[in-house]
Chains A and B, each alone.
Chain A
Amino acid sequence: MQTVTLSVNRREVSVTADGDTPLLDILRNHLGLMGTKFGCGLEQCGCCMVLVDGRPEKSCGKALSTVAGREILTIEGLGTPERPHPLQQAFLDEQAGQCGYCLAGILISAKALLDHSPSPSRDEIAAALDDNICRCGSHNRILRAVARAAERMRETGISR
């Protein structure tokens, strides 16, 4: 057992758990943040994607001991129904999803892309999302939603 301090969605938290505990389990079972999903536990599907110091990482394969002092952003930290992130608004506008299980991870991957690439092409968006599996076939809507969010963020200068 060890106690680790990290920042989750801009708030400092301390967690006491086995150092090998996957960050995904910390988020879901220790911090009650159910937005980040388990998909495979093998770092293959992207359902558990979070930002670690601004970089997209699969939280199923990230041990607690390796994220001490890091800044974690999960889907819950992206925006709220009252103040949606432009990506979340664009996903609703495009109705980009079917079952929606993959969306939290995809939104995080898209956020990582738009943070450093404000006007990505369709191919660039697809490449940024290639680690995320969508099985329902909502890909085209998702690609359009990310492009739409990018456009809105350029227009408004909002890029939370």
Chain B
Amino acid sequence: MTAAAPTPLPPLLASNPRLDRWVGFREPGRVRVFTGRVEIGQGVLTAMRQIAAEELDVSHERIELQSGDTDLTPNEGYTAGSQSIQFGGVALRLACAEVRALFLDHAAAAFGYSRTDLSMDDGAIRHRGAPTGQNYWSLAAGVDLSRHATGRQPAKSPGDYRVVGHSAPRVDLAAKVFGEPAFVHDMVLDGMLHARVVRQPRRGATIRTIDEAALRRAAKGPIEIIRNGNFLAVVGADETVVEAVAAVAPSHVAWDGIDAINPFQEEARWLLQQPSIDRVVGPPPPSAPAPAANRYEATYTRMHIAHASVAPSCGVAVYRDGRLEVWTHSQGVYPLREALARTLKLDPAMISVRHAQGPGCYGHNGADDAAADAAVIAMQTPGEPVRVRWRREEEFGFEPVSPAMVVTARAALDDAGRPVDWTTEIWSGRHSSRPGGGGNLLAAEALPDPPPAPPATESSSPPGAGTRNGEPLYGFPAKRVVHHLIAETPVRTSSLRGLGATLNVFAIESSIDELAQRAGADPVAYRLSVLSDARARAVVEHAARISFWQPGLPSGTGRGRGIGFARYKNIAAYAAVVVEVEVEEAVRLTRVWCAADAGLVVNPDGAINQLEGGIIQAASWALKEGVRLDNAGISSRDWEGYPVLRFTEVPEVAVELIAAADLPSLGVGEATGGPTVAAIGNAVAHALGARLRDLPLTRERVMAALLKS
């Protein structure tokens, strides 16, 4: 047998090469597997466990998964961007494959077996199928896993999979169904204090006066008031007491330096007048404009969107013997540790950040900030653990929101009505201000000597941030993306599921439907006529088939159908979504169908759950969601001010995966957002016979469109 040529190490294995950072066999019969990825409601722990069970040839019950802990797990940055399986899973898979091979090599050398006669069965080594009495645990002392991965052992081929590719139940679901403590919110440490922060009403605001007597009068039990610069918190042993003080605190603290904002900025078109950092990607524009009959241009907008996680953020911290320990539902324990070190002027080696589950997060919500709040307070109460649970209005009012956006789609058409030159022009605030990645922690900004804000950067496509999916996948001869990054926005903005892709796909796919209509073509047929990527064509055709798509149905009848398609980031999963709506005064979703191609799918039921969840969430964005502003900032601070889709508004959804197990895994978590919003827009246009270009498609906007038409 010739040795396989070494596989180049996947990036996350190259940066975390020690095999014992991924796998360990400390306790007999048990396997410890370490992943830097964290559970944020997307089911990643289940999928990682499947990958490890498959490559190590152990039953998944033996596996104890340790995730997101700066003392224990590999540094995989953020669990974000639908990259856990596509990148993190690949690294874990190769590490496990190599560990398994090392044990078999060791057994062959130690006992004189021929290596090719050995196999692994639930952690036990077999020789020509017969038990050898040896296993991972009996040999663990003789196999040094502190060595670096070489990539010399290829992972199994998909044809040999017994665990990967088969649906597995979520490992974390039972605890939640039986009401066991499962979330960081449920943590109780000995002597734990509860705290609430009295937030700066606006960034940069300074405390003028605090009516401490009034705060103490509102307290029905002992409290401490902690102040550090403009960071102000109420702390006590009784959460009910602390909460009651926090509820009235804003009326007893006076602030200076509150810069009022213009509520008009809740709609996106104000972005068009702002100074921006501009970038053009693609060929220069044509020297002469196309004749008017061959030109298309339309502009689409979206308001700011909130993550609106179902629970407000929570963090727990304790500072003891010079060490800070933090529990958080952040997406990135290592970047948070760096940001905390910078904020608190501590050596990162003296900080441990451990992930504990929170509500589904869908991007950069208040999780990091709540952890920082707890850490800042814990530094002032050494030895006493501190739990900070944000208030609902705090989460809505102070979490970073997804920026408002404007997108203009512009095309020059040939005589058949197909684009020969395409431009997507994007105006957007920042889609990334994660601590460590372009932004600071909220608490840091309130401290007397805040660290400088890291520089604002946005990656170019792919994956892109504001420009994500700005380039259509369609085979137009010339395509360019013009990006206007508006650095100064009235409210803090950062990443939310899909980033810029949501509005970019809405704009592109709405435009494609209008071009199809101009060309007298059916939307599905028109897409296929400009789409050469075989996998893209397959999802569009599949979605049309399972939805019984019928060309030529009349528009303007109050019932409509629409399709939307994208390959997320142009490098992750493909998804096509068909939506059926009824529109009277408001839009009612009746049915949704989706076809997706995600390559090798580790846990099919988990992937479908994600795709389906993405559809429902995107439907909520499309029909209901927009952050409201007043002079003081975000004014939509409860679920009445910021309504989301409820059970009675949810359509039945059918999702089908296109089998592609021999192809690399492609991230699915964000794949359906853009296509769903686009399909809803197209369905509503079909139902009304008039197009709405400004999201959300609320009752008021539908009524206005009906009056105009």
Residues on A lying within 8 angstroms of B by beta carbon are 17-18, 21-22, 25, 29, 32-42, 44-45, 47, 74-76, 78-81, 84, 88, 91-92, 95, 97-104, 107, 123, 125-127, 129-130, 132-143
Contacts and interface: CB of A to CB of B under 8 A. Distances in A.
A134 B310 contact: yes
B43 A98 contact: yes
Contacts of A138: 609, 612-613, 616
A37 B311 contact: yes
B311 A35 contact: no
29 contacts: A18-B240, A32-B188, A35-B179, A35-B181, A39-B392, A40-B312, A42-B639, A92-B173, A97-B176, A97-B177, A98-B43, A98-B613, A99-B357, A100-B41, A100-B176, A100-B177, A101-B310, A103-B177, A130-B647, A133-B644, A135-B309, A135-B310, A135-B644, A136-B613, A137-B615, A138-B612, A139-B616, A140-B653, A142-B647
Given A41-B392, A137-B617, A98 B179 contact: no
Contacts of A25: 239-240, 243
Contacts of A21: 240
Nearest to A133: B310
B177 A91 contact: yes
A107 B310 CA distance: 16
A123 B392 CA distance: 29
Given A103-B177, A133-B646, 5 more contacts: A81-B174, A81-B178, A88-B177, A91-B177, A95-B170
B389 A38 contact: yes
Contact of B638 (A40, A97, A100): A40
A155 B49 CA distance: 36
A90 to B, nearest CB: 10
A86 to B, nearest CB: 12
Contact of A95 (B179, B181, B605): B605
Given A39-B311, A98-B609, A100-B173, A136 B179 contact: no
B contact patch SS: loop
Given A99-B310, A100-B41, A42 B179 contact: no
A103 B172 CA distance: 12
A44 B360 contact: no
A136 B392 contact: no
A140 B589 CA distance: 13
A119 to B, nearest CB: 18
Contacts of A47: 310-311
Contacts of B638: 40, 42, 44
A36 B180 CA distance: 9
B670 to A, nearest CB: 13
B169 interface: yes
A160 B392 CA distance: 34
A36 B392 contact: no
Interface extent on B, as a size class?
A: 35 or more
Nearest to A90: B177
Question: 6 closest Cβ contacts across the A-B interface?
Answer: A35-B179, A99-B41, A137-B616, A100-B176, A75-B179, A137-B613
B589 to A, nearest CB: 11
B626 interface: no
Contact of A78 (B179, B185, B610): B179
B308 A37 contact: no
Interface string B11-45: 00000000000000000000000000000111100
A127 B240 contact: no
Contacts of A34: 179-181, 186, 188
Contact of B180 (A35, A98, A134, A142): A35
B359 to A, nearest CB: 4
Most B CB within 10 A of own CB, among A32, A37, A137, A140: A137
B693 to A, nearest CB: 25
A136 B308 CA distance: 10
A65 to B, nearest CB: 13
B613 A84 contact: no
A136 B639 contact: no
Contacts of A139: 616, 647, 650
A63 B652 CA distance: 38
A145 to B, nearest CB: 10
Nearest to A142: B647
A95 B169 contact: yes
B640 interface: yes
A35 B360 CA distance: 17
